[in-house]
């Protein structure tokens, strides 16, 4: 049985929230994969709570990233439209 990576997933998730949202994508992906491995009995399930918390932080960071990109796109489009007038 492989050891869990719960603390790593949680660190990536928190750094995704605080520092760089791209790390949130990594936390979401790692957390989902690790939880699947735990469910299949291939990974130590003692880190399930840490892994799930990191995955959720990664999800929130990813949603923030998407929101920021959408706002930047809208602002950029508005600047282009106002420059053409």
* pLDDT tens sequence across 30-65: 999 999 999 999 999 999 999 999 999 999 999 999
Q: In this predicted structure, what is the pLDDT of residue 85?
A: 76
The per-residue pLDDT of the chain, averaged, comes to: 96
Mean pLDDT of 63-72: 97
Query: 45 with 38: CB under 8 angstroms?
Result: yes
Q: In this predicted structure, what is the pLDDT of residue 84?
A: 80
Using alpha carbons, list the distances in angstroms from residue 29 to 9, 24, 33: 9, 9, 6
pLDDT more than 90, % of the chain? 95
Tokens 């998730």 map to which residue?
13
């Amino acid at each position: 049985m492989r050891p869990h990576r719960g603390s790593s997933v949680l660190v990536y998730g928190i750094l995704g929230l605080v520092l760089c949202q791209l790390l949130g994508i990594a936390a979401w992906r790692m957390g989902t994969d690790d939880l699947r491995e735990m469910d299949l009995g291939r990974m130590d399930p003692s880190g399930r709570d840490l892994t799930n918390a990191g995955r959720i932080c990664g999800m929130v960071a990813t949603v923030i990233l998407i929101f920021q990109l959408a706002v930047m796109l809208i602002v950029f489009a508005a600047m282009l439209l106002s420059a053409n007038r």
